[in-house]
A and B are shown apart, each in its own frame.
Chain A
Amino acid sequence: MSASANNPQAGRALPWALVTPALGWTLLFFVLPFIAMGFSSLTAHEGGGFTLGNYSQFFTNPSYWQAMVNSLQVTAIVTVVSVLLAYPFAWILAEQVPERWQRLALMLAVLPFWTSYVVRSYSWLLVMAQNGVINRALTGSGLIAEPLQLANTRLATVTGFVHFFVMLLTLTIFANLKQLSPSYRKAAADLGAGPVRTFLHVVLPLTLPGIMVGAFLTFVLCIGDYITPQILGGNNELLMPQLVMMQIGRRGDFPLASALSIILMAVVTIAYLACARWLKIERA
């Protein structure tokens, strides 16, 4: 953007007066809390002296370690399944649905996106409960004799997550497909490629960066979410955010909760750095 027009009459004070409130808010309520969390993570829960114990606990206590493994597994499954489900769906919306209905079709496809987070997970509980809709339908039709254990499992957590991220990814992939100029496809057709070859060698590679951005967004939002695993997965298998909240809720152990939060954030940062070259988020 070449918008930085110099305005000599304005003096020096005005621009700073404009940006200081926002900067101050960010420093005071985002950076400072982060520093406070850093300090807190280095103090002992009892006594308050300096310690690295909160961090070493994570590496030595197998149940903490397991929570991170669970989180990474669930997040990986959710990301892959969501992309695989959303891509064909977005493609159908962009290619098969007539132009004039597309906006409506897309709006409908993401409508439940706007239900509250808590309510969305609860709704899946209704569907998957012991005597919920799925089990009633299956036992009623005589397909199974005993209700299946669906709620309070990893499957339930993954289903709740996939539901949300299919909508999110459909939005981003649809936008990507629509941005693609039709001349690419015409050129491929002129050169003798059939629809399948055109898709595999032209459309798919060109939409890959968009998929990567969507997948990364999924990763970040999924690994930091507390609600979905807590409501749908229950306490059978803990994920990292549940472990963090547990330290605060049950034991008031702020230092350990801080250390675990910082570890979680470090993992996200590493993931970001690992795929930074595929992510062209900073396009402005």
Chain B
Amino acid sequence: MRWFVRIASWAYALAVYGFIFLPVVVLVLFSLQATSFPIPPFTGPSLRWYDAVLSDTRLTSALVNSLLVASISSATAVTLGFLSAWGFARFVLPGSGLLRGLITLPLTVSYLIIGMGLLVLFNWAGVPKSLLAAGIGHVVINLPLCFAIIYSQMGDHQINIERAARDLGAPEWKVLLLITVPVMAPAIFAGFFLSMTFSWDEFVISFLLTRFETTLPVEIWNLLRSGLNPKTNAVGSLVFAVSIVLVVLFELTLLRRRKA
């Protein structure tokens, strides 16, 4: 009975791993295709489609745009999230529960609807479509996340360290910068990295709110109109690689922090 469970478990786990990895393996494998269709038989390996991606200025500038939007919007979201988390955790504010609920509310609404709302508002206010508009939308989706992560990590022992600093005569801004920020660094990092990956990956808000200059997911979407194409495989594999680097960095920072 026991060995039967073992074998069945292995078979099942392998099947699920297979299902999970099948599309990724196909994507990466056929990005190395030498001929012009990413379908069997495999004719590579060849790097010609990576060359094609890197010499396509629309794709490379979209990549730069994506990194810019992701880093600036994440920095904004984490700053606003941290300041408000500190405010709510350390001071008694009237209606605190309600206001905290308001900040986390966007988590429950799908990106499509957040993007639609901003599109209608900007359209009505005469704000043109731009990367800035998309960045504003990315802060809307990531601010509640940063707030929730940082707020949940603000414990009582940190209050005592802050109180000690105050008793020793530190003004409030010094307490914030020299005590609270370093103590909260893991949560701040976590919020920032998660925001980066979400913004880097976000499609529908950028699609609705940008026009000529756009982000990488939207540019990849435009590539899809040409059907199956190894160039799309190549750029997709590159995006995957960047995400993996972000995730590994995130894991490493967390591990280092935990050990320290």
Binding site for B on A (CB under 8 A): 1-7, 9-10, 14-19, 21-23, 25-27, 29-34, 36-37, 40, 85, 88-89, 92-93, 96-97, 107-109, 111-112, 114-120, 122-127, 129, 131-133, 136-137, 163, 166-167, 220-221, 223-227, 231, 241, 244-245, 248, 254, 257-258, 261, 264-265, 268, 272, 284
Q: Are A225 and B110 in contact (CB under 8 A)?
A: yes
Chain B residues 85-135 with CB under 8 Å of chain A are 86-93, 96, 99, 102-103, 105-106, 108-114, 116-121, 123-124
Tell me, in angstroms, the Cα distance from A268 to B22 when the chains sit together.
32
A29 surroundings in chain B (CB, below 8 A): 118, 121, 136-137, 139-140
Separation in Å of the B159 CB from the closest CB of chain A?
A: 5
Partner of B239, one of A33, A119, A258: A119
Whether B50 sits at the interface, judged by CB under 8 Å, is no
Whether B236 sits at the interface, judged by CB under 8 Å, is yes
Q: Are B20 and A1 in contact (CB under 8 A)?
A: no
Whether B34 sits at the interface, judged by CB under 8 Å, is no
A137 surroundings in chain B (CB, below 8 A): 40
Chain B residues 1-39 with CB under 8 Å of chain A are 5-6, 9-10, 12-13, 16-17, 19-24, 26-27, 30, 38-39
Q: Are B117 and A112 in contact (CB under 8 A)?
A: no
11 A-B pairs whose Cβ atoms sit less than 8 Å apart in the complex: A2-B156, A7-B166, A26-B143, A32-B121, A33-B117, A112-B24, A114-B246, A122-B27, A127-B23, A264-B112, A264-B113
Whether B232 sits at the interface, judged by CB under 8 Å, is yes
Q: Are B119 and A254 in contact (CB under 8 A)?
A: yes
Question: Which chain A residue has the least Cβ–Cβ distance from B89?
Answer: A3
Tell me, in angstroms, the Cα distance from A264 to B110 when the chains sit together.
10
B163 surroundings in chain A (CB, below 8 A): 5
Chain B residues 130-169 with CB under 8 Å of chain A are 136-137, 139-140, 143-144, 147, 152, 154-156, 159, 163, 166
Whether B233 sits at the interface, judged by CB under 8 Å, is yes
Instruction: Contacts A4-B92, A85-B16, A166-B16 given; indicate if A116 touches B136 (C-beta within 8 A).
Output: no
B52 surroundings in chain A (CB, below 8 A): none
Tell me, in angstroms, the Cα distance from A4 to B110 when the chains sit together.
32
Q: Are A18 and B84 in contact (CB under 8 A)?
A: yes
Instruction: Contacts A119-B236, A166-B19 given; indicate if A136 touches B116 (C-beta within 8 A).
Output: no
Question: Which chain B residue has the least Cβ–Cβ distance from A27?
Answer: B102
The secondary-structure label for the interface of chain B is: helix
Question: Which chain A residue has the least Cβ–Cβ distance from B20?
Answer: A112
Whether B243 sits at the interface, judged by CB under 8 Å, is yes
The secondary-structure label for the interface of chain A is: helix
Q: Which 5 A-B pairs have the closest CB atoms?
A: A224-B110, A33-B117, A18-B87, A123-B23, A22-B84
Q: Are A118 and B116 in contact (CB under 8 A)?
A: no
Whether B80 sits at the interface, judged by CB under 8 Å, is yes
Q: Are A37 and B117 in contact (CB under 8 A)?
A: yes
B9 surroundings in chain A (CB, below 8 A): 92, 96
Separation in Å of the A34 CB from the closest CB of chain B?
A: 5
Q: Are B110 and A115 in contact (CB under 8 A)?
A: no
Interface size on B, residues (CB 8 A): 90
Q: Are B99 and A166 in contact (CB under 8 A)?
A: no
Separation in Å of the B70 CB from the closest CB of chain A?
A: 12
Q: Are B152 and A284 in contact (CB under 8 A)?
A: yes
Tell me, in angstroms, the Cα distance from A19 to B16 when the chains sit together.
45
Q: Are A224 and B111 in contact (CB under 8 A)?
A: yes
Question: Which chain A residue has the least Cβ–Cβ distance from B202?
Answer: A117
Tell me, in angstroms, the Cα distance from A166 to B16 when the chains sit together.
9
B240 surroundings in chain A (CB, below 8 A): 112, 114-116, 119
A15 surroundings in chain B (CB, below 8 A): 87, 90-91, 93
Q: Are A248 and B119 in contact (CB under 8 A)?
A: yes
Q: Are A244 and B116 in contact (CB under 8 A)?
A: yes
Instruction: Contacts A117-B217, A163-B23 given; indicate if A40 touches B120 (C-beta within 8 A).
Output: yes
Q: Are A33 and B118 in contact (CB under 8 A)?
A: yes
Question: Which chain B residue has the least Cβ–Cβ distance from A160?
Answer: B23
Separation in Å of the B209 CB from the closest CB of chain A?
A: 11
Q: Are B39 and A221 in contact (CB under 8 A)?
A: no
A225 surroundings in chain B (CB, below 8 A): 110, 112
Q: Are A18 and B83 in contact (CB under 8 A)?
A: yes
Tell me, in angstroms, the Cα distance from A265 to B80 when the chains sit together.
27
Mask, B215-248, CB within 8 Å of A = 1, is 0110011001000100011001001100110110
Separation in Å of the A29 CB from the closest CB of chain B?
A: 5
Tell me, in angstroms, the Cα distance from A265 to B224 when the chains sit together.
29
